[in-house]
Each structure stands twice: as C-alpha cells, then as structure tokens.
Amino acid sequence: MAYWLMKSEPESFGWDHLVGSPKRTTVWDGVRNYQARNHLRAARKGDGVLFYHSACAEPGVVGIAEVACDPHPDPSQFDPSSKYFDSTSRPDDPRWITVDVRARRKLRRFVSLAELRTHADELDDFALLRRGNRLSVLPVTEAQWEFILELGSRAS
C-alpha cells in the first residue's frame, strides 16, 4: 500500500465538498501535469490520501481519504465542454488518467503547512516541503504518513 498527498483549493472543492459528495467520493479529474499523472498512474485502490487545502488563507492537511479505484483514463480529456478537454489526446491512446477519491475521516486537528515546516527534519525530504513544489499529487512515505497522522491526532 502506498500513500499520497492530494491538493485541492477549498474555494472550488474542499474537504466539506468531498464529504458531501455521493458515497463521500469524487473523481479526481483534471490533473494535467505529467509528473502528477505519473504518481496517479502508480496509485492503487486502497492507498491512503492526505487531503490538503492549497491556495487559501491557511494551507494544510485537513483529512484522510483513500484511493477508491485503480487508475483509468480521465473522461474529461475527451469532453469538449469540459475545461479539462484535451483535443490532442486520442481515445485509443489516452494521455491523462484519474482515480476516485473517497473521504475516510477528518483529522482531529488541522495540520498546517507552517506546522509541517517546523518538522522538516522528522519528515525527511517530504515532497511537499521541497523548494518550488507545485505538484497536485505527491508521494508520501509510510513514515511521513504516520508522523502527520500523529500530529493530526493530538488535542488542539
């Protein structure tokens, strides 16, 4: 089993949107970056997901989710009405993929990016803390996963 961090902008789709979705599940479509796509390609049903709020007043990890299906072609790339439409991607050779993401539970305590930065040593080269990181899907090691869950389980 692997672990991932997925970023979402709370103003467009935050934790509450995920929890309010049918079956607490959404299609993680619209990833249009090759490196992020390669991470999605490596994801499998059952993998753990840190749900992260980005581009907001207080960025950080809000809750725990899981990959709810194996990767498959992202339908939005073939939908001309979608903002994620990619006219250069061919159905017989899809360029972009997606997975379903299902909410497990909210963290007892929000773990902000600022707090994560104070634990840069313990988190040992956490991809999120690397300079200039812009990927929307990042790998998380088991040690990093356990550490962040522990932070998020502390009393406020």
- Binding region for DNA (CB under 7 A): 7, 9, 33-35, 54-56, 59, 113-114, 117, 130-136
What is the DSSP pairing of strand 100-112 with strand 25-27? Answer: antiparallel
Residue 25 or 33: the one with the smaller Cβ distance to DNA is 33
Q: How far is the CB of 44 from DNA (least distance, A)?
A: 22
**CA neighbor of 144 nearest in space, from 131, 128, 133, 132:** 128
**Residue 35 CB, nearest distance to DNA (Å)?**
6
Indicate the residue among 56 and 143 with the shorter CB distance to DNA.
56
Closest approach, Cβ 67 to DNA, in A, equals: 19
Cβ closer to DNA: 45 or 109? 109
Q: Which helix (H) or strand (E) holds 120?
A: helix 120-123
Q: 3-30 as b/e, with b when 16 or more CB fall inside 10 Å?
A: bbbbbbebeeebbeebeeeeeebbbbbe
Shortest distance (Å) from residue 6 CB to DNA:
10
